A and B are shown apart, each in its own frame.
Chain A
Amino acid sequence: MPWSFGAERAGDESMEALLLAILKAVVAGLLMGLVFALVALGLTIIFGVMDVVNFAHGEFLMIGMYSTLLTAPLLGVDPVLTLPISGLVGAALGVLCYFGLIRYLLRGPVIAQLFGTFGLMLFLRNLALMIMGSEPMIVHKGILVGKSFVVGPGIVLGATKLAAGALSLLAFWGAWWLIDRTKTGKALTATSLDKEAAMYMGISTERVNALAWALGGASVAVAGGLLVNFWPVDPNVGLLFTMIAFATVALGGFGSIKGALVAGVLIGMIVQAPPVWDAMLRLAGSNAGSGFTIHSFKYTFVYLIYFLIMVFRPQGLFGWKQ
């Protein structure tokens, strides 16, 4: 019968599409996940050292994105070369926030810290809105923009995403080296393990806290600088990344740097996975053409994962802080 023949061929095609979708999701998820890991790194450092959750984390990212976007044409160099500037801006912002606000919040109850950083988030977001306007912006010119590599049939890797993944890994390694191999980094680790004991050893808590905010701000701003090459920036971009960072940190374990890397990649894959599921749905033949796609839920999964991990495994994959 001719019609069964046709159906079989269609099945084969969607099988191929499914495999391709899986391959794409893994590659894209890995690259995106490395950037997510770098975003989460700052949050986890700050949390590990002083138990403060920074709601304005996504806004730091937004500022990092804008600073790359604006300084590149100003200095006439490629956006990739302005990453150190983003890092410096982020570090300065972190230190400023610590001495201007967080230091005072630490004296109060938990509720004061939550609201204080939330106020910071509103403040930074709307300041950006006043200065930059609400139009989404993206880097248009650069050696990476618009270039791509064809890896296999149907798999195209954007150069910007590839560079973002690789440079994120590099920045992550830098932060790890700083924390694990230098004396200052060891002071940081000591304070997060036991604040009092570290104080008796002559480590200034104030300076370590400021350092944690500088490192946290710098890493997230660099992530923003990488992200702006392929992700449009507008003043409201922060909240999504704040939530992704929370989910990543929860999955990896609050305060764990290794956890942030592994969890970032996992979350990246989860966010990129829905096309695979949609391909599976098409293969199963259900819902075809109804317009319903799991794709539109891709960030809902991130929130759901946060909730489930917090309830069932609060210490995360590699967490030591409870």
Chain B
Amino acid sequence: MEAIKNAFDFSDFPRLDMGVAGAALAFLLVFPALPHSSFAMTTMIQFLMFSLYGMGWNTIGGYAGQVDLGKAQYVGIGAYTTAVMMVRWDVPFWVSMPLGMGLAVGWSFIIGYPLFKLKGHYFAIATIATSLVLKDLFEVWDFVGGAKGLELPLRGNMPDFLYLQFREDYYYFYILLVMFLAGLLFINGFRHSRLGFQLRAIKDNEDVARSLGINVHWSKIKAYAVATAYVAMVGSFHACYNFNIEPEDTMSLDLSVLIALMAMLGGAGSLWGPIIGASILVPMRSYLGSWLGGQAGLAGLDLVIYGGIIMLIAAVQPRGVWGIVQAVRAKRRRT
């Protein structure tokens, strides 16, 4: 009961924030009814996916302050569980998704236990290493299709809600929107939970947290598992949405970093941060990419701009957009 009440408790945000959030939600709800291009729809679905990725990353990277650059391996586990089960045994999405999440979380405990003996840079690089090892294994593993990946079988009758196969994108959009809202409420509850407070204590000062009786190692592992469940869920969805997965697009370092980047750009460790980050980066990425990618000699310019923005944020305001908002508010309150 307490947990459910916490999930709906947004009272620590000013009314302005809730107004903006409400307007954004209303826009999301009616978006498919508005006139839009299919490119805009794809971008919107990407936005929801990356918001969820970022929310997951935020538990370990934001609230607990452990920079994790290996989330893509869990995206891959989720995506491959769904794809392999659908290709080989005809298992519906709604069965394989929880199984994929379970597998990913189980793997995250195995990896997390030794991983969280490390801190700071060492931790970050080790997460990259684990992710790359898994990707290398998947690239030669014939059971999951090797480097070519897997193609999901098309089923006859669309729309198919069990196997998540639709001709129109708005079905995907609404299913993802439900996941998004559920994910947001869960994170809001998580924020108020005992674990949430423990993680923030760990982020501020690990030694003090330990002296207060918090089991630092175990709290981090739990937060890591929560983050893993999020990305594995979206990974499963990604497999159904794309109809085709391969190690390069589900497990690459670029994806890991992109996930972390969304959260950091918006503001790591805040509820809205990952959503703000995704709402800026995803449209920028897809529109810049399609606009510049088509022009000869400019391939790569979008990523140059991208890299420039990352450097700028890291140098000027590492707390992201949300950090800027907070700073402006604090200034206004003082005067």
Interface residue ranges, A against B (CB under 8 Å): 51, 53, 101, 104-105, 108-116, 118-127, 129-130, 134, 235, 239, 243, 246-247, 250, 292, 296-297, 299-300, 303-304, 306-307, 310-311, 314
Additional pairs, 4, CB under 8 Å, beyond known A126-B301, A310-B126, A310-B129: A53-B121, A101-B311, A105-B315, A306-B129
Chain B positions within 8 Å of A113 at CB level: 121, 314
B313 located at the interface, meaning its Cβ lies under 8 Å from any Cβ of chain A in the complex: yes
Q: How far, in whole Å, are A112 and B61 apart by their CA atoms in the complex?
A: 12
B307 located at the interface, meaning its Cβ lies under 8 Å from any Cβ of chain A in the complex: yes
Nearest opposing residue in chain B for A305, CB measure: B129
Q: How far, in whole Å, are A180 and B299 apart by their CA atoms in the complex?
A: 45
Contact between A116 and B300 (Cβ–Cβ < 8 Å)? no
B133 located at the interface, meaning its Cβ lies under 8 Å from any Cβ of chain A in the complex: yes
Q: How far, in whole Å, are A247 and B132 apart by their CA atoms in the complex?
A: 13
Chain A positions within 8 Å of B318 at CB level: 108-109, 111-112, 115
Interface residue ranges, B against A (CB under 8 Å): 61, 65, 67, 69, 114-115, 117-118, 120-122, 124-126, 128-130, 132-133, 136-137, 140, 253, 257, 260-261, 264, 268, 297-301, 303-304, 306-316, 318
Asked whether A297 and B140 contact (CB < 8 A) given A53-B121, A116-B314, A123-B311, the answer is yes
Chain B positions within 8 Å of A105 at CB level: 314-315
Contact between A126 and B307 (Cβ–Cβ < 8 Å)? yes
Q: Show 17 residue pairs from A and B whose CB-CB distance is below 8 angstroms, ordered by the A residue.
A: A115-B261, A119-B306, A119-B307, A119-B309, A119-B310, A126-B301, A126-B303, A127-B304, A129-B300, A129-B303, A134-B299, A239-B253, A246-B129, A300-B132, A303-B133, A306-B125, A311-B114
Contact between A304 and B308 (Cβ–Cβ < 8 Å)? no
Q: How far, in whole Å, are A235 and B303 apart by their CA atoms in the complex?
A: 13
Q: How far, in whole Å, are A85 and B128 apart by their CA atoms in the complex?
A: 33
Q: How far, in whole Å, are A104 and B115 apart by their CA atoms in the complex?
A: 29
Q: How far, in whole Å, are A134 and B80 apart by their CA atoms in the complex?
A: 30
B207 to chain A, nearest CB (A): 15
Asked whether A110 and B300 contact (CB < 8 A) given A116-B310, A300-B137, A303-B132, the answer is no
Contact between A110 and B67 (Cβ–Cβ < 8 Å)? yes
| Cross-chain pair count, CB within 8 angstroms | 133
The 4 residue pairs across chains A and B that have the minimum distance between CB atoms: A119-B310, A123-B307, A122-B307, A116-B314
Q: How far, in whole Å, are A311 and B304 apart by their CA atoms in the complex?
A: 35
Q: Select which of B124, B133, B298 is within 8 A of A300 by beta carbon.
A: B133
Q: Select which of B118, B307, B312 is within 8 A of A314 by beta carbon.
A: B118
Q: How far, in whole Å, are A299 and B300 apart by their CA atoms in the complex?
A: 26
Chain B positions within 8 Å of A292 at CB level: 140
Q: Select which of A118, A125, A297, A311 is within 8 A of B136 by beta carbon.
A: A297
Q: Select which of B129, B297, B304, B315 is within 8 A of A243 by beta carbon.
A: B129
Asked whether A314 and B122 contact (CB < 8 A) given A115-B313, A119-B310, the answer is yes
Chain B positions within 8 Å of A123 at CB level: 304, 307-308, 311
Chain A positions within 8 Å of B311 at CB level: 101, 116, 119-120, 123
Q: How far, in whole Å, are A303 and B132 apart by their CA atoms in the complex?
A: 7
Chain A positions within 8 Å of B300 at CB level: 126-127, 129-130, 235
Chain A positions within 8 Å of B268 at CB level: 111
B26 to chain A, nearest CB (A): 33
